[in-house]
Structure 1
Amino acid sequence: MEYKLVAVDMDGTLLTPKLEISKETVETINRVIEKGVIFTLSTGRMYLVAMAFANMLNLDVPIITCNGALTKCSKTGKVYDIKKIDKELSSKIIKYCEEAGLSVSIYREDDIYILKNSENIDIHMQIDHAKPQIVNDFDSLLDGSIIKIMFNSSDKYNLEHHTRKLYELYKEELNFYFSLPHFVEIVHKEANKRNALENLALKFNVKRAEIIAIGDNFNDMDMIEYAGLGVAMGNAPDYLKNVAEFVTKSNDEDGVRNVLEKFILK
């Protein structure tokens, strides 16, 4: 099979445990692109954060961000798809989180917002390498422009308890994803990596069988099942390896490079 589109998760997949891309992997990706294959990112991270890595790879394609809530071109900034959370739902989720003592971060297309004294500020600076906007309250943001709500708690059991309650209340209307270290992300019900990847394939006239999708976690499962060749990282949990057609090396062993060399560059 000649593969024409490759979608790769970032954390735990393309990025090493030090949140870097190895020089060898960058070189291999460049060779894949030179061959005419479309290489894109598919991440839970926000667009501006993903852009630092897209620029490193010199990508000129739509990249999938915020777990499929926003697909936007890495060169032109053109928005190809955006899924916003209904403002009434946003208000209910935020109110619940605040009453439960959970720390909340709000994502619009290009910005993150947190409340004063939020414990999330250090997390965003260290992991996202992004500086959030600090606000006194979220009221002015409840205008239908939110694409992701993220919350966390330093108390693991408190986080799990309230996540279960929120999931039961809104599972028919929203998607819930766990992310590291102890965060829960909420997006529009139709926002997922599979739908975003399918839309990209249609745009580029690529058949499902001609797609490779690579990931390491639960939020990658739908695109791995959808792709012609679904690949799980060596560091992925067993449930993901069981649905993948191929299991590559781990993210600290250049697992993505291994896939590209084996199935595209040969």
Structure 2
Amino acid sequence: MVQYPQGQEAGPLAARLGAPLRSNLVGKPFAAGMGSFHPHFRGNRRIGMIKLIASDLDGTLLQNGAQKLNPEVFPLIRELRRKGIVFAAASGRQYPNLRRLFSPVWQDMIFLAENGALMMQHGEVIASYPVAREIGLAIIRDIETYGRCEVLLSGKHTSYLHTRSKDLAAALLYDTRNAVTIVDDFAQVDEPFLKISAFDPEGIEHAAAHFQERWGGVVSAAVSGEEWMDFTVANKGGAIRLLQQKFGFQKAEMMAFGDNYNDLQMLEAVGHGYIMENAAEPLRERFPLHAKRVEDTLAAFLEGRLL
């Protein structure tokens, strides 16, 4: 097993590549040092109606293949915090990657990583939903047997790839800047399986129907991009509902942004679900609220021009 930390420099490619829910949310305030979660709202009364805003990343906050956030999002998140509004990043990405992307404000927010399978706050796990090991290994075998796809297995701090997945490993290491561990056999991985992903460089639509039929009744199976399909026992909507339950939010007090089918449950879980204008037509038709850029919609919200 060879482990590469997130963003590590390396030599030539050949050398580089030689369970039940656990939650700590009960009885805790939103975040130590952030004050009461129900402050007295100042200014436009409409701002006080919203207490949580969640956003997807790829295709939503990160558009056109971007791997860095627009810096203008950071002061918006700080202003949300100042007004007592929780901001949550809800993504299929791994937690270390999300924390790096949001490094200027990571202590001001909650992370719903791995499509909600890992919820983090201030560097601590507040909830996790691992896939049962036997089911996870069976899904992996099915992906490998299908033939077209490669497997990405997600743990808490690293992603696992097979030694033969050299091109994908390079892309995750140096483009997405994931932490990656190379294994000869996924059975070697001894930590909980948070997410299993199938990657088809020619487009996951060819395989999606097969995997949905095989596993859709066992786990949450969702297309998460043109080339990816994710398998978890969690989804972003479930993570949002857990926050709602623990903090006593009403559905009308929550807002979310997304662009793909793995955002569907999240957008349905909130009272104000915004679908991105670049989303597939069935999703745009399903949700009446549309956004071109999350940053613009957040700015309009904070200025009282929304809701």
What band does the TM-score fall into relative to the shorter chain? 0.7 to 0.9
Please tell me the residue identity of whatever aligns with 2:225: L
Contact 2:160/2:180, CA 8 A, preserved across alignment: yes
Q: Distance in 2 between matches of 1:86 and 1:144?
A: 11
| Closer/same/farther in 2, CA of residues 93 and 58 from structure 1, 3 Å limit | closer
Please tell me the residue identity of whatever aligns with 2:193: I
* 2:237 match: 194
* 1:252 match: none
* 1:107 match: 154
* 2:25 match: none
Q: 1:179 aligns with which of 224, 228, 231?
A: 224
* 1:256 match: 294
Contact 1:176/1:187, CA 8 A, preserved across alignment: yes
Larger of the two Rg values belongs to structure: 2
| Closer/same/farther in 2, CA of residues 169 and 85 from structure 1, 3 Å limit | same
Contact 2:272/2:289, CA 8 A, preserved across alignment: yes
The alignment of Structure 1 onto Structure 2 pairs a total of residues equal to: 254
Work out whether 1:133 is the aligned partner of 2:190.
no
Please tell me the residue identity of whatever aligns with 2:278: N
* 1:71 match: 119
| Closer/same/farther in 2, CA of residues 131 and 223 from structure 1, 3 Å limit | closer
Pairing 1:1-266 to 2, within 5 Å after superposition: 1=46, 2-17=49-64, 18-73=66-121, 75=122, 77-101=123-147, 102-118=149-165, 119-141=167-189, 145-156=192-203, 159-188=204-233, 191-249=234-292, 255-266=293-304
Contact 2:163/2:183, CA 8 A, preserved across alignment: yes
Q: Distance in 2 between matches of 1:225 and 1:243?
A: 10
Q: TM-score, length-normalised on structure 2?
A: 0.76
| Closer/same/farther in 2, CA of residues 123 and 169 from structure 1, 3 Å limit | same
Consecutive unaligned residues in structure 2, runs of 5 or more: 1-45
Q: Relative to total residues, which structure has the larger helix share, 1 or 2? A: 1
Please tell me the residue identity of whatever aligns with 1:178: V
| Closer/same/farther in 2, CA of residues 243 and 59 from structure 1, 3 Å limit | farther
Contact 1:105/1:120, CA 8 A, preserved across alignment: no
Please tell me the residue identity of whatever aligns with 2:199: N
| Closer/same/farther in 2, CA of residues 144 and 87 from structure 1, 3 Å limit | farther
Q: Give the superposed CA RMSD.
A: 2.0
Q: TM-score, length-normalised on structure 1?
A: 0.87
Q: Percent identity at matched positions?
A: 28
Q: Distance in 1 between matches of 2:271 and 2:52?
A: 10
Please tell me the residue identity of whatever aligns with 2:69: I
Shift of 1:181: 4.6
Q: Distance in 2 between matches of 1:220 and 1:169?
A: 21
Q: Distance in 1 between matches of 2:69 and 2:194?
A: 27
Bigger mean CA deviation after superposition, 24-33 or 221-230: 24-33
Consecutive unaligned residues in structure 1, runs of 5 or more: 250-254
